[in-house]
Structure 1
């Protein structure tokens, strides 16, 4: 058993006290000027710091449709813990980073509110949470360091009154000296190097302290700054330092002081005036978010009085605390909203000023299947659901249905919504190029902005897990049934026509699932490699004799016979080779074998996808009756058949990820399909 002292030693060995000292550095204004001279990036604006933080994780650039496509690794699970990754939104995330880049370069967007707009559950909150947490981590690194200031107490030199708004210390430099100071600090820097700039003035508290010390020292600025202490600033939402969040409440309880701070009435008795900044709590969300980022949850639900504060904060970078003058702030202002609130903004002429100062970035639902699957797999996997086996295709089918509800019906004749989903997911279809797929996306006007939310699917996956306590394995039908049952009472889908359409799409998904599992069972039955090799060898011998107008030696009788046309056609029919094309296909195979021979390579049927599929289907047809799969339905299975079925079940478990229960379920399901098919034929 581990002793307590061993655990303490373990932590002691891994702690980094040098890093702790760097994070908790305190020094003089003079020392800070040296830091600025050597590392001017410590004076970056909030937008510059946020943009650099995203880039610090790296960017992957690829070519798609003759255009550059950017993928920012920061959004691919920055904590590497499987949570909060954003999948399938490369375009919208690129738009967001471009807006931050424009603001970092001060091209105008720094004077706007960034508004993430999209349907419920489309990752808007997740994106903002990632940005806030990323900025917190970045501020704790050497690359993301920033500093603030405080004032030494006049009576107790050990006590420091730190700036309540995390002020940039360079604001201490008087306006008339700034150009000369900046010339000194930026001396020797190249055209592309980051240069120090000083924007803004001291906040009310620091201005009061500054004016008081200036009088005390008879206008001697150098003695004033000797009373200043500088410290490293680590942004933290939990500690309310540099990261703020504002969420609308009941209109009767909303108060603008939540944004800009309020008078501390207990301190009025000490300082004698409600306009003394020492008797004011600079703890509104705008105050504490200075130098960092502020999030407005459902921003368009704000009361009009709050929106006025938002306008000034974005355009002028200033707020108006009660009893004080306009106060400079430096922070990223980002909000999010959904479609109904945004429509209200568009239709409200009184909100024209806000519309004019907003940069809208659409955050739609995911429309690629593989990315939708990832959303659910991070919450439903062997680690998070240890006592249940999630059968293959369970999450895939739920994700497929969710994507189908978000896609618009294709305008292209002959293209189904399911085929469109497959094209978006990277599957190639005859007659469709990358340009055609891009055109399909361009034609859609509301794709991804409507449909089923991932949250609904997650809720129904959870329901399926708890609704079948006796089941060791959860299969697709359990989840699809939960999805269908929930539509009846879905609070966001009020039109019966939409519910009917979504139920029809569940039927499309069930049909697709049936095709998938039929194929898997067929391949599991036909996975006898020795039998496949024999069948392939027999087929090749026959088409070689056919193309060269020779006869084939019967290995049993030793006699030479005509090529077995029935065998060849029974294989070719499986991949829809018509009678008129059989000669071309056979010559194609022989030419392929000949080309390999010239290169000194041996032919392997597995390298030819079409032939491999044809052989598997033929072998399945031959073995299906010997295995008597349909006998599963009647529950009358002899020992020999059971042994063969167990072999197939073992292959499903080994090759496709089933467990014993789900493999049995799938075999029974596919057996019932074949039983129905046999009954129809009779």
Structure 2
């Protein structure tokens, strides 16, 4: 975060006036820091960066958190070598001058950094390591981040379906916990709890078997306490359930990849969902140009299985 602040301050004090897509400065900052970190026997470089950034991460095969002090003691001269701030600023500037749209994004900046590293006069081991960060570590990290972001924007066009799944889950979960039946709101008839439906939601976040009972009890208790305190209940109320519902909605990858780019929009309903998704991404800081570029990149690189 400190590194990001440095670049943002330098950019605001310079003649740089382009639009910067979300995550662009963060990706460039992460690259700079990765090159300055000493290898660790305890964690991989990206995990180390996240710990230094304040994230709490548990050691593999243990419940113990990785100790930041131990990591620092392991590498006394850390931060003395690696990519400079000036190198990153120059790459941001180059990416802008190569752009026809007065806008830079993580994809163009990572590409610019790859070219710049290839031209560096440094030893081959360092060059290979730096390129590994750009072409593998950061690309995977960005893809993961982008998948979550585009999925959230995609879900925005599916609010009604999300709320419907949520209300159904609550009704069936409450019935299951209380060993009761469900009254159909339209017909008034009493129905058995649909355990298969509950499982289809829960398995999205890896909850199966005996863990499901605890999860259903937790959800029901949480919603009742929220109602008692006058809170608003919707599908976003309980984070684990929200995640499960969003995953359930995006399991239909064909639907997602059809909606995700303009060229693939098939009908009026999908067009509406595409527009809702784009509007949500623009609210999150994308301009028309980078939104289009990022969605094309997502369609070509994510959800390909």
Q: TM-score range by the shorter chain?
A: 0.7 to 0.9
**What is the CA deviation profile of residues 353-401 of structure 1, one whole-angstrom value per residue up to 9, with x for unaligned ones?**
xxxxxxxxxxxxxxxxx01111111233598432x21111111111111
Structure 1's 423 and 626: CA in aligned 2 closer, same or farther, altered over 3 A?
A: closer
Alignment partners' CA distance in 1, 2:177 and 2:244: 19
Alignment partners' CA distance in 1, 2:12 and 2:140: 25
Aligned ranges for residues 486-525 of structure 1 at < 5 Å? Answer: 486-491=116-121, 493=122, 495-506=123-134, 507-525=136-154
Matched, 1:458 2:86: no
Contact 1:627 1:645 in 2 (8 A): no
Alignment partners' CA distance in 2, 1:429 and 1:556: 49
Structure 1 residue 542: Cα displacement: 0.9
| Equivalent position to 1:649, from 278, 296, 300 | 278
SS of 1:579's partner is coil
**What is the CA deviation profile of residues 636-679 of structure 1, one whole-angstrom value per residue up to 9, with x for unaligned ones?**
4335123321211011001x1001111111221222235632xx
Structure 1's 571 and 382: CA in aligned 2 closer, same or farther, altered over 3 A?
A: farther
| Equivalent position to 1:423, from 32, 40, 51 | 51
Structure 1 residue 405: Cα displacement: 1.3
Structure 1 residue 497: Cα displacement: 1.0
Aligned ranges for residues 71-86 of structure 1 at < 5 Å? Answer: none
Aligned ranges for residues 395-410 of structure 1 at < 5 Å? Answer: 395-410=25-40
Aligned ranges for residues 205-284 of structure 1 at < 5 Å? Answer: none
| Equivalent position to 1:393, from 20, 23, 34 | 23
Structure 1 residue 573: Cα displacement: 2.1
Contact 1:381 1:390 in 2 (8 A): no
Structure 1 residue 444: Cα displacement: 1.9
Aligned ranges for residues 121-200 of structure 1 at < 5 Å? Answer: none
| Equivalent position to 2:115, from 475, 479, 485 | 485
Contact 1:472 1:661 in 2 (8 A): no
Residue of structure 2 equivalent to 1:441? 72
Alignment partners' CA distance in 2, 1:382 and 1:542: 57
Greater helix share, 1 or 2?
Answer: 2
Residue of structure 2 equivalent to 1:590? 220
Structure 1's 425 and 539: CA in aligned 2 closer, same or farther, altered over 3 A?
A: same
SS of 1:618's partner is helix
Structure 1 residue 426: Cα displacement: 1.7
Greater strand share, 1 or 2?
Answer: 1
Matched, 1:545 2:194: no
Structure 1 residue 595: Cα displacement: 3.5
Structure 1 residue 558: Cα displacement: 4.1
**What is the CA deviation profile of residues 508-555 of structure 1, one whole-angstrom value per residue up to 9, with x for unaligned ones?**
101111111111110011124444333221111111011111222344
Structure 1's 570 and 472: CA in aligned 2 closer, same or farther, altered over 3 A?
A: farther
Residue of structure 2 equivalent to 1:380? 11
Alignment partners' CA distance in 2, 1:623 and 1:482: 31
Residue of structure 2 equivalent to 1:664? 292
Contact 1:526 1:623 in 2 (8 A): no
Residue of structure 2 equivalent to 1:570? 200
What is the aligned residue count?
Answer: 298
Aligned ranges for residues 262-411 of structure 1 at < 5 Å? Answer: 370-381=1-12, 384-386=15-17, 388-411=18-41
Residue of structure 1 equivalent to 2:189? 559
Structure 1 residue 480: Cα displacement: 0.9
Alignment partners' CA distance in 1, 2:256 and 2:149: 18
Contact 1:523 1:620 in 2 (8 A): no
Provide TM-score, normalisation by structure 1. 0.41
Structure 1's 671 and 557: CA in aligned 2 closer, same or farther, altered over 3 A?
A: farther
Aligned ranges for residues 21-170 of structure 1 at < 5 Å? Answer: none
Structure 1's 423 and 555: CA in aligned 2 closer, same or farther, altered over 3 A?
A: same
Structure 1 residue 559: Cα displacement: 3.3
